[in-house]
Structures are given as C-alpha cells and as structure tokens.
Amino acid sequence: MLLRLKEIVQWTRMSAFELFLHLLSILVFSILVAAKVEGDLSASWPTVFAPLFICDGLNAYLSLIVFVRQYRDLKKASIRLACSLVVIALFFTFKILLCQKLAKGNLTCSEVFVPLFFLCNILLFRSCRVH
C-alpha cells in the first residue's frame, strides 16, 4: 500500500514544497551521477552532490522562515525548528560522508550510513506516536 501525501507530511514533518524540493534535487543528482559514472561528466564528486547540498540549505532556510512566522507560539515553533534542523543535519551529514567516501574511499559503509540509521529511528518513533 502506498502512503498518501498527508501521511508522508505528517511522519516527516516536511511540507509538500520541501518534499518537492527533495524530489527535484534527487532527480538532478541522479542525472549527474549517471553522467559521472558513464564518463560523460568530468566534474568532481562534490560538484555532483551540489544539488543535494543546495536542497538542504533551502530546507534550513524554509525552516527558519516557518520559525519566524510561528513566533507567537514560541514553544511550538522552537520544537518544530529543532526537529527540522536535526533531520536536515542528519541528511547533510550522510551526504557529506557519502561524498567523501566516493572521492577518497577512506570510510567504511557502516560509517557512512550511521546518520541514516538515526534518521530511521526518528521516523520510527514519529510513526508510532502518530497512531
């Protein structure tokens, strides 16, 4: 069974626009990775990962905008900002570690995927708490 947009928004605590940004950046990143692997692109790995890094920056910026707009309820706004920034930081850390592994090859796969393990646990607790 596929998840509905409402459920995805509720579990990830991202707006539909933020999810769209992620999907768009993954599409551009996929095209760049395919070109890099096939040898058609001579750019470095950090350049290939640039759309994903830009998406993380835009999501952090949007989280700050939402925090400023919800300033009347400071407690709720602070909790939302903290949760959003933790998720963004975990995604960003994973992407940095993956980029470093591809560029230099000095990291193991378990070291690269540690941020995703934490992110899966956070999503697990959020999904259990919702129902």
Q: What is the pLDDT of residues 17-70, one digit of tens each?
A: 989 999 999 999 999 999 999 989 889 999 999 999 999 999 999 999 989 988
Predicted confidence band at 130 (pLDDT cuts at 50, 70, 90)?
A: low
Q: What percent of the chain has pLDDT over 90?
A: 60
Q: What is the CA radius of gyration of the chain?
A: 16
| Mean pLDDT score across all residues of the chain | 89
State the pLDDT at residue 53: 96
Residue 113 located in a structural domain: yes
Residue 82 located in a structural domain: yes
Residue 34 located in a structural domain: yes
Ranges 8-17, 84-93, 101-110: which has the least confidence = 8-17
Do 90 and 119 form a contact (C-beta atoms < 8 A)? yes
Task: Say how many domains are in the chain.
Answer: 1
Mean pLDDT of 102-123: 92
Residue 85 located in a structural domain: yes
Predicted confidence band at 113 (pLDDT cuts at 50, 70, 90)?
A: very high
Mean pLDDT of 79-88: 89
Residue 74 located in a structural domain: yes
Residue 3 located in a structural domain: no
**Integer Cα distance of 97 and 65 in angstroms:** 28
- Give the domain range for residue 16: 10-130
Residue 73 located in a structural domain: yes
State the pLDDT at residue 1: 64
**Integer Cα distance of 94 and 56 in angstroms:** 12
